Amino acid sequence: MKTIDYTMYHEQLVRLKEKLQQAKQKDALFKVFGAGSHRYELNAPTTVSHIEALEQHYGIQLPECYKSFVLHIGNGGRSFLSSGAGPFFGIYPFGENLDDLIHGKVEEHLNKRCSLHPNMTTSQWDELTDLLYQDGISDEDYEDLNGNLYGGLLPIGSQGCSYIHALVLNGPYKGRVVNMDRGEQIPPRFSEYNNFLDWYEGWLDEIISGKLITITPSWFGYPKH
């Protein structure tokens, strides 16, 4: 992995650590959806060698915003699937649950170019996903179509049921978080934030302001572009 200058994120990383504690204090009764599970806690950060190994194995280059988080903020925790503090059930441990979207060989598809975009319409999405449900489709063809559809997306956390957060790994939207439905019923919806760190900080800001404590839990998830 190339050497990365994380000083560009230093101030934001410091803010995130402070805001995580502020959010925990604001939501002391864990009323925000999922907070009763992750309790605003994260395990110790991962290591550069762990990141290097995963990038080399899958032939990918993870967004620097995400790497800075797992290297300097934390990695996993006590929530569902050992997730750490984050929207809904939290952020997956680094390198785990990579098959949330890709049903075939993850090694063959994770490094594909992400084909999704923020302006994708329901009809465009249906055209792509209908191919997965053709009569008589072979397992091999299904895996290829599924891999083409979800290539370039890293699953990073569960929203419950079939909904998850994923991170775009390449292309013009690299680093953006997108809401995904593993059942293909709802088109992908991109977060309004420019990168993973901004998205995570936005979540903390909504807790600290009290908004996520008083409204339905889906506000920060699927309906929120």
pLDDT tens digit string along 170-223?
999 999 999 999 999 889 999 999 999 999 999 999 999 998 887 655 556 555
Task: State which CATH number among 3.40.1580.10, 3.40.640.10, 3.50.30.50, 3.30.700.30 fits the domain covering 9-220.
Answer: 3.40.1580.10
Give the model's pLDDT for residue 216: 57
Percent residues over pLDDT 70 in the chain: 92
Give the model's pLDDT for residue 8: 83
Taking 80 as the threshold, does the pLDDT of residue 129 lie above it? yes
Arithmetic mean of pLDDT over the chain:
92
Domain regions of the chain by residue span: 9-220
3-state per-residue secondary structure call for the chain: CCCCCCHHHHHHHHHHHHHHHHHHHHCCCCCCCCHHHHCCCCCCCCCHHHHHHHHHHHCCCCCHHHHHHHHHCCCCCCCHHHCECCCCCCECCCCCCCCCCCCCCHHHHCCCCCCCCCCCCHHHHHHHHHHHHCCCCCHHHHHHHHHHHHCCEEEEEEEECCEEEEEECCHHHCCCEEEEECCCCCCCEECCCCCHHHHHHHHHHHHHCCHHHHCCHHHHCCCCC
Specify the range with the lowest mean pLDDT, choosing from 19-33, 45-59, 89-103, 203-217: 203-217
Give the model's pLDDT for residue 6: 64
Give the model's pLDDT for residue 124: 94
